[in-house]
Amino acid sequence: MALVEVKVPDIGDFDEVSVIELLVKPGDTVKAEQSLVTVESDKASMEIPSSKAGVVKDLKVKLGDKVKQGSVLLVLEGAETASAPAAPTPVSAPTPAPAQPAPVAGASTGIEIHVPDIGDFKDVAVIELLVKPGDTVKVEQSLLTVESDKASMEIPSSAGGLVKEIKVKLGDKVNVGDLIAVLEGSAAAEPVVLPATATPAAPAGRVPPTVALQPHESATTPGQLPHASPSVRKFARELGVPLEEVKGTAPKGRITQEDVQAFTKAVMKGEAGTRAGGGKTPAGSGEALGLLPWPKVDFAKFGPIERKDIGRIRKISGANLHRNWVMIPHVTNHDDADVTDLEAFRVQLNKENDRAGKAADDAGVKVTMLAFLIKACVAALKKFPDFNASLDGDQLVLKQYYHIGFAADTPGGLVVPVIKDADKKGILQISQEMGELAKKARDGKLGPADMSGAGFTISSLGGIGGRYFTPIINAPEVAILGVCKSRMEPVWDGEQFQPRLMLPLSLAWDHRVIDGATAARFNAYLGAILADFRRTML
């Protein structure tokens, strides 16, 4: 039987993208054009189709792998034509970003912004207008979002200025060269070369939020990922619909937008799925859980009020936090770590870095306690591997990598960027990466890859204050460390009180996986490391 390697076709300007879904497994029979994997960059997600039909013999990639054009995805057996090179598969491997001159500067009529080269995308629908007349836009600022059935992408402005007119409306179909907006103002008169920017099909949350709090009969076989296009995934995530619980009505069980809508309606009516006891699935209001309805109050009766929409990030993180709070039996252990010596070392290190930075005509990296905490947690996770784990049915998945998430406060809400392979990095590198990720977070530029893969998370309020708090575990992780501001305290050394700098720690853990005694030991070990960082070398 002929064996054929199926490779990643031309995916435009995407250098390296992460595999976020495997849509087939060895033994599956696939047709030509059937989607094999979903890949995602910080800008877009897209499905890569098979260029041949056959039986999957060997998968050459796994979740999290980085691939680029030419990477082998899998080997097919019995493929139609073994000799012909795998043709690029335009339908499902969109080329979102080849650069092309986009705007034409009109002398008196303003600057026209046209759809740049968007690869194989034709007749793509405008699904979002991101600016309106009167707005001031910068070069590269996204003007609108377009979407095909395979990916969505943002079309950036190739010039800066004041938006005079928007030439398209929601639902319009656009193609390369179509006029989308007219600007007035500061832009250069020369055409600017700009790529179309593919936008994340996934929003900022790294775990699809879910509205249903009770287990349903799953529409997907366990271990198998739901089959849906990026746009449907995005739609589902926006609504907080767990795709694995939606039954797909399209061929091969593919989930359509209508399926997601139908699911939402059913949940709202309390009809989706039934509990083991035969009751209705909760509708999110609390009533279906047998709780009192949420109080409805006319607040304006009591004084002036203002209504404000909840932002996208907050909605997504809120849905995740709600699920985690309800579904995980949390317990929190509080403790203190003596960081007197570590803090003295940190201050000294920053002084040295500052001097070195000045000498090198470059700002030195600033080290905060959080970088040491990340490193100390890696040591504690190595000693207590159950804390670097996830529950998967009856199994515990123990991770042998040490990716540490840290909660970052942004104007839009809470996000959790991840320091990957923290065990292999020094304090300065961790500090530098943290600084970069925190900046990206504040600028709203974190991509899904920046926020995925954590095995354990730290939420530090040390720069703000407080003593202790009860952080919510970031599922599917099983523990999270909350840290507050250190302060000088009198500590009894057996003979007298000594002034020591004490760091408050709050370790929240999933009682399905961890017990109180282990959590207390984890905190004690972490405290010992923070008190004497040389222990990380042991």
406 binds ligand CAO (CB under 6 A): yes
503 binds ligand CAO (CB under 6 A): yes
Q: Which residue has the tokens 């306690």?
A: 369
Of 227 and 375, the one with the shorter C-beta distance to ligand CAO is 375
Q: What is the largest CA-CA distance in the chain?
A: 85
Residue 95 one-letter amino acid: T
Strand partners, 255: 228
User: Of these, 368, 432, 518, 536, which contacts ligand CAO (CB under 6 A)?
Assistant: 368
The footprint of ligand CAO on residues 480-499 (CB under 6 A) is 483, 485-486
407 binds ligand CAO (CB under 6 A): yes
502 binds ligand CAO (CB under 6 A): no
Distance in Å, CB of 402 to ligand CAO, minimum: 18
Cα atoms in the Cβ-side hemisphere of radius 13 Å centred on 233: 27
Burial class (CB in 10 A: 0-12, 13-18, 19+), 488: exposed
**Residue nearest to ligand CAO as judged by C-beta position:** 462
Q: Residue 164: enclosing H or E segment and its boundaries?
A: strand 161-166
Q: Which residue has the tokens 């319009």?
A: 172
Distance in Å, CB of 512 to ligand CAO, minimum: 22
382 binds ligand CAO (CB under 6 A): no
Distance in Å, CB of 474 to ligand CAO, minimum: 10
Cβ atoms of 368 and 433 closer than 8 Å: no
Q: Report the alpha-carbon distance of residue 130 to residue 143 in Å, rounded.
A: 5
Of 34 and 410, the one with the shorter C-beta distance to ligand CAO is 410
Question: Alpha helices, DSSP H only, in 366-479?
Answer: 369-383, 427-442
342 binds ligand CAO (CB under 6 A): no
Of 414 and 519, the one with the shorter C-beta distance to ligand CAO is 414
Q: Which residues contact 102 (CB under 8 A, 6 or more apart)?
A: 113, 114, 115, 116, 158, 191, 192, 193, 194
User: Of these, 44, 187, 246, 370, which contacts ligand CAO (CB under 6 A)?
Assistant: 370
Distance in Å, CB of 42 to ligand CAO, minimum: 19
Active-site hit among 114, 322, 403, 511 = 511
String marking each residue 428-467 x if it binds ligand CAO according to CB under 6 A: ----------x--------------------xxxxx----
Whole-Å CA distances, 123 to 118, 132, 173, 196: 11, 22, 5, 15
The verdict on whether 511 is a catalytic residue reads yes
Cβ atoms of 385 and 522 closer than 8 Å: no
Q: Which residues contact 207 (CB under 8 A, 6 or more apart)?
A: 320, 474, 475, 476
The footprint of ligand CAO on residues 209-248 (CB under 6 A) is none
Part of the chain binding ligand CAO (CB under 6 A), chosen from 3-11, 111-119, 241-249, 406-414:
406-414
Positions marked active-site: 511
**Residues at the contact surface with ligand CAO, assessed by CB under 6 A:** 368-370, 406-409, 414, 438, 459-463, 471, 483, 485-486, 503
